[in-house]
Structure 1
Amino acid sequence: MSDKKEEFSCEMYSNKFFLLCLAGGAVACGSTHTLLTPLDLVKCRLQVDPAKYKSIFRGFYKFALMTGEENAYLYRTYLYLAAAASAEFCADVFLSPFEATKVRIQTTPGYTSKMLVAMPHMMSTEGIGVFYKGLVPLWARQIPYTMMKFSSFEKTIEMLYEHFVPKPRSQCTKEEQLVVTFTAGYIAGVLCAIVSHPADTLVSKLNKEPGASIGGLVAELGFFGIWRGLVARIIMIGTLTGLQWFIYDGFKVFTAMPRPPPPDMPLSLKKKLAGKK
């Protein structure tokens, strides 16, 4: 095995490092959401019009750190969760108007397909509140989604290397590491879709029916109705999340960014746990 030291294009946590992170995230998320827009369209219509769209195929036919090394290791999952939740809470305030417009375009036959036409029309006929009517269910969808996306991805990466990959990450080629990244991302995406799907159904219905209420929709849809479109969404979000992590990690390889391995248990914690046995 070669002892040649890998050269990186920047220092970890430098300004360039964070700018590259931003660029990689934009490329990964923008391209994958664009690719899966048709499946998202089908998923929304399955949720709001089950009589007309009875299946996926029919739809297509008609989209931190705490003090101390031990604590940082033990509580890193909670840090991932807290960071993801707070970031998503703020992001959804800006996302809500676009989500409302997207769903209106996708689920209203004959409605304009142009965002710059749809948004002013919605504003002039229904007021600014129409863009935030679905904000609470959007939070209910996106916050668990993002928390699951980051925490389950990190845990899945660790489990894959520990139980399924026959050699340590440091001995895997970059291509092999990217395969593991995509696999972990897809698994994380499936979990994201499951925990956030009921709220996603409510977001779709609320933005299609501006006069509806959350309580009324829950009563109308019932337990099974609120899960309609789950298979389509699992395929969409699993693919989306897997590709996002794959593209983002691939971008880091392409730009020679430092990519630290999953954290090892600190030696002090290993000794402490060994002493309790």
Structure 2
Amino acid sequence: MAPIHKNHAFAVPQFTIRDYSSFFAAGALCCTISHGAMTPIDVVKTRIQINPAFKGLGIISGTRLVIAKEGAAGLLTGFGPTAVGYLAQGGAKFAGYEYWKKSFVQIAGDQDSAVKYRTAIYLGAATVAEFFADILLTPLEATRIRLVSEKGYATGLVTGFTRLAREGGVRELYAGFLPILLKQIPYAIGQFTVNEFCHELVYRNMTEETKRNLSATSNLAIALGSGITAGFAAAIISQPGDTLLSQINKGHGPSGSMVYRLTALAREAGFKGLFAGLGPRMILTSGLVASQFLMYDGIKHALGAPPGLEIHKEN
């Protein structure tokens, strides 16, 4: 990555449109591949959340029931909107994070301020990037949920999206926008901020020569360890939002505005209920986040994209 360290000249890389296009492509591919590969798990998870016949089942027993009822192809229900949704969301999130991080560094104005306020820069960049990415994701996530939850609703992505837009309009397409923000923004904050600090912790006491001479295995170990740790953090801080999103998708909660429904559901669930199922989700999310960062860096390198901007504090 292109570093901004203390005792170095304060220089912010000037990314071009081509650079941001590469960031977008790398983010889009890493997210659509990782989330697309998890479609069978998402199908079973959604069935367990909303179908009484699946109540009390686990992932393995739920998978067996889906296959028994719908065949193996049933595990790929909703693959189209999942792949397209996270293609758009992933590209916007990763490219947006690079853009907003650089913008906030420039707003900081000088080297010392950028390093001093790096946590705020990470948090702000992740939040703004995820907000705009979720504008792209929400209608496709709504389509996915309908395809998975209502058998025979449509034949696929295009027919499902068209029917939902025709019958419910923009309001129905974006009915889940607030719950998705409550899940995805904390997720992005954990994913990016913790990954940044893990790298900083590892590199802080290395000389520049040591960094340049790290073996491919060492770089892979650092990236993998940072990604797994960031995945754990992302799962923990986004778990309440994920729980509430699941409840909303099941139609639970009182009638009224979305804010009122979410507040009532959170109060009803309590602290323990909001974090139910955290263990398995931490395992899944750690693999998801780690694989995304590994693929993102690899695809960027293959596309000839420049390194991202680092703001690390050195001893």
Normalising by structure 2, we get a TM-score of: 0.69
Hey, what's the Cα distance between the residues in 2 that align with 1:175 and 1:229? 34
Q: Which has the higher contact order (CA 8 A, sep 6+)?
A: 1
Aligned to 2:60: 57
Deviations 1:105-131 (A, max 9, x none): 223455445122223333444443222
Whether the aligned pair in 2 keeps the contact of 1:104 and 1:208 (CA below 8 Å) is no
Aligned to 2:225: 183
Matched, 1:114 2:156: yes
Deviations 1:24-46 (A, max 9, x none): 21221121111122222333344
Aligned to 2:172: 130
Hey, what's the Cα distance between the residues in 1 that align with 2:193 and 2:234? 10
Unaligned runs of 5+ in 2: 1-12, 66-74, 76-103, 256-260
Matched, 1:233 2:259: no
Specify the code of the residue in structure 1 equivalent to 2:216. K
Between 60-69 and 109-118, the greater mean CA deviation after superposition: 109-118
Aligned to 1:251: 299
Specify the code of the residue in structure 1 equivalent to 2:18. K
Unaligned runs of 5+ in 1: 1-10, 271-277
Alignment of 1:78-157 (within 5 A): 78-109=120-151, 111-112=153-154, 114-157=156-199
Aligned to 1:43: 45
Specify the code of the residue in structure 2 equivalent to 1:59. G
Specify the code of the residue in structure 2 equivalent to 1:21. F
SS of the counterpart of 2:287?
A: helix
Aligned to 2:82: none
Aligned to 2:98: none
- After superposition, the CA RMSD in angstroms is 3.2
Aligned to 1:23: 25
- TM-superposed CA distance for 1:96, in Å, is 1.5
Hey, what's the Cα distance between the residues in 2 that align with 1:125 and 1:98? 15
Hey, what's the Cα distance between the residues in 2 that align with 1:98 and 1:250? 27
Hey, what's the Cα distance between the residues in 2 that align with 1:219 and 1:265? 40
Alpha carbons of structure 1 residues 21 and 122: separation in structure 2 relative to 1, 3 Å? closer
- TM-superposed CA distance for 1:240, in Å, is 1.4
Q: 1:169 aligns with which of 208, 211, 216?
A: 211
Alpha carbons of structure 1 residues 205 and 179: separation in structure 2 relative to 1, 3 Å? same
Aligned sequence identity (%) = 31
Hey, what's the Cα distance between the residues in 2 that align with 1:265 and 1:168? 17
Aligned to 2:80: none
- TM-superposed CA distance for 1:171, in Å, is 2.0
Between 244-253 and 197-206, the greater mean CA deviation after superposition: 197-206
Hey, what's the Cα distance between the residues in 2 that align with 1:107 and 1:223? 28
Alpha carbons of structure 1 residues 89 and 68: separation in structure 2 relative to 1, 3 Å? same
Hey, what's the Cα distance between the residues in 2 that align with 1:19 and 1:104? 32
Displacement over 6 Å in runs of 4+: none
Q: 1:159 aligns with which of 197, 201, 205?
A: 201
Hey, what's the Cα distance between the residues in 2 that align with 1:136 and 1:181? 32
Larger Rg computed on CA atoms = 1
Hey, what's the Cα distance between the residues in 2 that align with 1:242 and 1:194? 15
Whether the aligned pair in 1 keeps the contact of 2:114 and 2:311 (CA below 8 Å) is no
Hey, what's the Cα distance between the residues in 2 that align with 1:253 and 1:155? 22
Aligned to 1:70: 112
Hey, what's the Cα distance between the residues in 1 that align with 2:155 and 2:221? 37
Hey, what's the Cα distance between the residues in 2 that align with 1:252 and 1:175? 19
Deviations 1:213-234 (A, max 9, x none): 3245445555444334433432
